[in-house]
Structure 1
Amino acid sequence: MSNATIKQVAAEAGVSTATVSRVLNNSGFVSDLVKKRVLDVVNRLNYQPSAIARSLKQDKTFMIGIIVPDISNSYFMGISRGIEDVVGQEGFQLLFCSSDDNSVKENRLLLLLQEKRVDAIVLATSGGNDHTIKWLTDSGLPIVLVDRKLETIETGRMLDLVAEDNADGANRLTSKLLDEGHVRIGVVNGPSRVSTGSERYEGVLQAMQQHGLEPNPIVYNGDFSTDDGIKAVRMFLEAEPRPTAIVSLNNRMSLGVLLEIVRSGLRIPDDIAIASFGEVEAGSLLSNPGLYYIDQHPYEMGKVAGDILLRRIRKEEKNGEPAFEIFRNEIKQVI
């Protein structure tokens, strides 16, 4: 690796450091002859501009931190890819962090990213860190929420949000099963401490009330993991009477539901019908499962979040209201 400095390049080329900077940044007028001379020296000395020095000069690191609950979840990776495709065109890089749905770890990551001087943070919160988030935003660090809202409504209203219409989606998803005559419903839900868990469950209850039923489904509260879907099915199968249909409110939990039902020798939908908030790719391997699912669009959500990030980093719309982009997704069926 070369240790050459911009001063050495300027001296070798017989120009000022400002001229070298204009050549490298392709800004301002420099004659073709001088440009060639500078670039020849840059190549000969293998000069590498200092990213740290550039970030200090421009007051930007060109880094955006992303904190999600599970970095291996294809849903969050889809959001991240959409963000990257937008901000990458402007020279920004993403720094990925996984909170493991742990509030303490999330708080530590928030402070770490602030210490690393990232230009903005994208957050799918695990909950419990509203005070830290407010402190960071008050300091001028842009934070864009994705997928999940904050517990404190007042703080949440200050931030940009890109999310799904969770209550409406869960309502329509549950209604598909109720319209087919199912009245004994098992619900695999996530933690109520995050908005996706509480809002989706509320949508299920609303659907049951709208269909004239008592809103008392059999509920298993998990942590959005495949193992939780497996445990939920085991609990449902021991219930008397057991549910004739299951609404799983997260794609990871839905995978566990499918695995355990197949492992138990039951047929979908003849023995038990399934509806999933989010597509489960394994569902297409089953024979005529009649599986309902919310067709999510994480990549498109990521692109919207990326556009918001660039506006905030550029300090556009200084006095504007926070952006609230809510996706109302379609319901599809694997047949």
Structure 2
Amino acid sequence: MAKATIKEVAAEAEVSTATVSRVLNESGFVSEEIKERVMEAVAKLNYQPSAIARSLKQDKTYMIGVIVPDISNSYFMGISRGIEDVVGAEGFQLMFCSSDENPEKEERLLNLLQEKRVDAVVLATAGGNDDTVKSLSDSGLPIVLVDRKLDSEEGTKSLDLVAEDNEEGAARLTEKLLAEGHVRIGVVNGPARVSTGRERFEGVRKAMRDRGIADQPIVFNGGFSTEDGIRAVRKFLQADPRPTAIVSLNNQMSLGVLLEIVRSGLKIPEDMAVASFGEVEAGPLLKNPGLHYIDQHPYDMGIKAGEILLKRIRKEEPEAEPAVEIFRNEVNRIG
């Protein structure tokens, strides 16, 4: 059966198409009797207004693009949920994309979202796309950075940002291990092209410098995946001397670290102490884990990002400086 048109609704209700439009868009005066007739016609014909036509008329699609490295990661799921709870109440929907830490794929996704005429973009960048992001921002598309900064400091300062205090958090996390007497430390980090990787590793180095420790940590640079955490532990266990503690700077990699330590027959923290930037859901399942972790709050970050998005889409305070919200999280311990 063909879809009903606005002309058919108007004919059924015995009014003009302009009157139907006013009723559906709640614009202009229409008597209650006419409204009732129009809505009865809409229900009878099962009329569905065209979202595309409405978006062209209003210059809005009520869609917000979200690009993150991995939407299945609980951290980015939490951020996304916070955003959705804020913007969803205003009628906006989210279009989720995973870049898989691939700058080329991220660039394609950015261009695709522009083609889809989204009203704004939330970006946790994989790096390498400063020029594309700047071009989209200069065209008037609101872009809010979450978790990660652009490669250039100048580019980051021109955009809204919601992130964590990565360097300070990693320093305080490492200090917990140093205070327990660990000197030989293995560091599981993500790619250096990503701001979180650079900042968190610098935090580890800062903590060691502050303690006057000259030894350099053993570093494994991965891609923020569980498999990289597993490979890192295998590398550390082959080192001579091997580390007595591991700092994992991402929750997904931390899961791999815990799995491989347990699989190797070692005990945490007796044989190998572990500190994680981000809570690991499986951590409490370990017997007496003694696991230090940064208590992140991705949902709260999403809430803040959503509030900024609505201000930008509504063009509130158009001349205002970009918003910068930095979350400082505490170090906790399981066990």
Do these two structures clear the TM 0.5 threshold for a shared fold by scoring above it? yes
Q: Which residue of 2 aligns with 1:207?
A: 207
Q: Scaled by the length of structure 2, what TM-score is found?
A: 0.98
Tell me the number of residue pairs that the alignment of Structure 1 and Structure 2 aligns: 335
Contact map agreement 1:161 1:324 (CA 8 A) in 2: yes
Tell me which amino acid in the other structure corresponds to 2:130.
Answer: D
RMSD over aligned Cα atoms: 1.0
Q: Deviations over 1:31-84 (max 9, x none)?
A: 221111111111111111010110001000111111111121111111111111
Tell me which amino acid in the other structure corresponds to 1:80.
Answer: S
Contact map agreement 1:2 1:45 (CA 8 A) in 2: no
Structure 1 stretches (4+) deviating beyond 6 angstroms? none
Q: Which residue of 2 aligns with 1:70?
A: 70
Tell me which amino acid in the other structure corresponds to 2:88.
Answer: G
Q: 2:274, 2:2 → 1: CA distance?
A: 60
Tell me which amino acid in the other structure corresponds to 2:154.
Answer: E
Q: Which residues of 2 match residues 37-52 of structure 1 at below 5 A?
A: 37-52=37-52
Structure 1 residues 215 and 326, CA gap change in structure 2 (3 angstroms): farther
Structure 1: gaps of 5 or more residues: none
Q: Shift in Å at residue 126 of structure 1?
A: 0.4
Does residue 1:56 correspond to 2:53, yes or no?
no
Q: Deviations over 1:108-128 (max 9, x none)?
A: 111111111111111000000
Q: 1:6, 1:307 → 2: CA distance?
A: 35
Tell me which amino acid in the other structure corresponds to 1:32.
Answer: E
Q: Which residue of 2 aligns with 1:313?
A: 313
Q: Deviations over 1:8-47 (max 9, x none)?
A: 2122212222321232233433222111111111111111
Q: Which residues of 2 match residues 67-216 of structure 1 at below 5 A?
A: 67-214=67-214, 216=216
Contact map agreement 2:184 2:215 (CA 8 A) in 1: no
Contact map agreement 1:146 1:163 (CA 8 A) in 2: yes
Q: Shift in Å at residue 215 of structure 1?
A: 5.4
Q: 1:83, 1:22 → 2: CA distance?
A: 31
Q: Which moves more between the two structures, 313-322 or 194-203? A: 313-322
Q: Which residue of 2 aligns with 1:270?
A: 270
Tell me which amino acid in the other structure corresponds to 2:235.
Answer: M
Partner of 2:282, secondary structure, is helix
Q: Shift in Å at residue 214 of structure 1?
A: 1.4
Contact map agreement 1:12 1:41 (CA 8 A) in 2: yes
Q: Which residue of 2 aligns with 1:236?
A: 236
Q: 1:229, 1:4 → 2: CA distance?
A: 56
Q: Shift in Å at residue 2 of structure 1?
A: 4.8
Q: Scaled by the length of structure 1, what TM-score is found?
A: 0.98
Q: 2:215, 2:327 → 1: CA distance?
A: 26
